[in-house]
Every structure is written in structure tokens, then in C-alpha cells.
Structure 1
Amino acid sequence: LLCAYFRLKEGFSFLFCPSLIHKISVVIKSCSETCGTNEQYNECGSACEPSCKNPKPEMCTMQCVVGCQCKSGFFRDDSGQCVAKCSSTEPSLPPCSQVKCPKGTKCLFRCQPDRVKRDYRGTKTCATMKCPPGTKCEQETINCFVAPCPQPDPRCV
């Protein structure tokens, strides 16, 4: 006797046996997964759910994960909750537009697009660095993949 077990999106499961096709089909189990706030139940969700630590997973195995996952646009935080915006405990640096560099110099703090930048906590910044005449202060680009990523010291170019 060959039978197949099916689970429907609506939360119902049933057993189907082709050899008993003319007999009645019976729902053998009714199950409803209760998900938390901003979560949804997925029969075949991603194995690499976006999180605050890794908001844009790039490498992921191709497999289905059954269960509750964060809805689109939400991220799993360290406490396991799905949040729209991840909180940061690190102080943020002012943007370069608010940093005063010596005349003829320019401050650049940046990471490649779509990468996470860590706040720079070093003692040297373009605001504190004195560059020789004819040069400017520049913060090098760094490829940041997962926070926290290091930030190089500024240099005069």
C-alpha cells in the first residue's frame, strides 16, 4: 500500500493513498503553526534568513526550512525577534559633511555600496589629521562584508 502525506498551506495535513482512490480521503491532522510578531510560517523558507548581524546574506545553501521566519522587510535580532530596524549600540560618526577638515583637504569615510560600515573609533580622523599643503585627507575604501568591519587610518594623498 503506497501512500503520500501532504501538508497544505492552510495548516491541514492529509494522507492520500492512490490504491484507495475510490474510498474517502480523511484529514488526519490539523495543525496551525503559531508565529510571533512580524513572522510568517513558510513550508519552504530560506536557510539564510536576513538578520541584524547579516542583513543581506549572499552565500546560502539551497534547502527548504520549514517554520516561522521574519516577514519580508524584517530582520531577526539577537533576542530572536523580527524587527523592521536593527538597533545599534555603537555611537555613530558624523557624516563627512559635518566634519571640518583643514583648508584644501577632504574627509572621506566610506565602504563599498551594499556593505556594512563599522563606526571608526580610532584616534586619527580627517578632522584631526594635518596634511601637507597640496594634499588632502582621505579615508580608504574597504570591502566590508559582516559587521563589525575594520576602518583604515586616514592618509594624506
Structure 2
Amino acid sequence: MLRIVGLFVFFVVSSGFYVANEECPTNEEYLLCGSSCPYNCTNPPEKVVCAQECIEGCFCVAGYLRNETGNCVLAEECLKAGNTPMCEENEEFMSCGSACPATCSQPEPLECSLACSIGCFCKSGYYRDDATNKCVTLDKCSIKPCTKENEVFDMCNAGCQPSCKDPDPVCTKVCSSGCVCSPGLLRSADKACVSVEKCPSNGTYTGPLSKYLNAINKILHLSYV
């Protein structure tokens, strides 16, 4: 059998490249499980709906897109070529936007360790509505109905709720929307919203009722013994 030494064989698979010897062209990286529908200069991220399984091959590294000739170029080069993606209302195209963008359910995301993303992002002061996928101001966010008894929807305090275990939690400034217990009620171990007297107590002065009163008295600048 004739063997050709050093033959570099590859073929194109859905804009990604399968490479026999795992060597990739410039500005590309080899992935064992990359997207089978990778976006490119003429196919912005928001227009790609991919339900296919991942594939193995070479893909453009972060910040690069595949152009019409099959090369991976900086996203800015796509824009210079007149391939500016059409973003929706209150959106703007970014070649390196946050991979953890602000949303209605998470207006103040935690520090994001993921690489930046390419695509359309909400403009400053707007948030991605989880229900409609539109960019809106916080007051226009869709309010999800709270189905459990004694719960109300809160735009910012769902991530740090008073509970029977900790009636006076120390909260960070991170804002998170969701269903919380109605004012005056605490979250029990079984996730129900109950009055403080229904919280289990260990029979000492450190029980939930005492902690709850201490929290109130701290606000009133009183002392509780």
C-alpha cells in the first residue's frame, strides 16, 4: 500500500475543520467537543439555533470568527468587511462582551471567570429579560408569578432571605430576583414561609425568635437580653 509521508488531510464540517493530526491553522484551536454549528462573520451568534451534537475538530479561538474564505479573523475584521450583525432594540454588537451578562434574574452577576463572548449584548442600563430575551430596564422585567403560599416577587433580595436558621443574614450587594417570603415571615427548612413562632427552637435564648427580636432591636437601636 502506497504511503505518503507528511500528508495533511482535513475536510470541512459545518464551518469547523476536522484535522487528522490535530494540527490547526492560525488562530484556531483543536477541540474534542466543539459546536457543530459554529457562528461566523455572516452568521452572528444570535441567529444560530443548534440542536446537533458537538463535533471534534479545529475551531476559531475566542475573539475570532471564520470569514468567507474559511480563515479565522478578528471579529473587528468582519465588521470592516461590512458584515455587521443586526442587533435588536437596546442591543449593541461587541467582539468581546461578558460571557455572564446582566439579566433580569441576575442584575448583578458574580465575577465571571469565563472568556468573553462575541455577539449582541444589552446596552448599558438594560438587562436581558429571561422570559422574552429582550433588553429592558429593570422596571420592565417580566415578573414571574410566585405560586407558593405567603411568597412575593422581589427584584433584588432573592439571594439573601431571612430564614429560621438565620433570621438576620449578612447579605452582599449582589442583586438577584425571585420569590421571597412576605414581610415578617421566615424561610423554613422545608422552604415554606412561616411566622417566627413556628420556627423550630433549640430551647435556648439563641433560638430563631430571640434572633429575630435581636435583629429588630438592632434596627431600633435597642438592646435585647
What's the TM-score, normalizing by structure 2?
Answer: 0.36
Larger relative contact order (CA 8 Å, sep ≥ 6): 1
Which has the larger share of helix?
2
